[in-house]
Amino acid sequence: MTKVVNYISEAFEELKSNVTWPVWADVQRYTIIVALFSVLFALATWGVDELFAKSLEGFFRWLKG
């Protein structure tokens, strides 16, 4: 258990002293970029899904008809 506590303590010390954190403005800008990309990717995925669903529906209707 001592090893785990020591590891966590060293990890926090590393984060405090050796990591270069971005400035708040950059964090906000990158967050907006990621959110917009996520929404666009979700819409694109939804669009492709709808396209395939309609295509398969038409194909099976054609097979029955």
Instruction: Look at residue 8 in the predicted model and tell me its pLDDT.
Output: 96
Which pTM does this prediction carry?
Answer: 0.65
Across 9-18, average pLDDT:
93
Cα–Cα distance measured from residue 1 to residue 35, given in angstroms and rounded to the nearest whole number: 40
Instruction: Look at residue 28 in the predicted model and tell me its pLDDT.
Output: 98
Instruction: Look at residue 65 in the predicted model and tell me its pLDDT.
Output: 79
Cβ atoms within 10 Å of 50's Cβ, excluding its own:
10
Tens digits of residue pLDDT in 17-65: 999 999 999 999 999 999 999 999 999 999 999 999 999 999 999 999 7
Handedness of CA 18, 9, 7, 24 (dihedral sign): negative
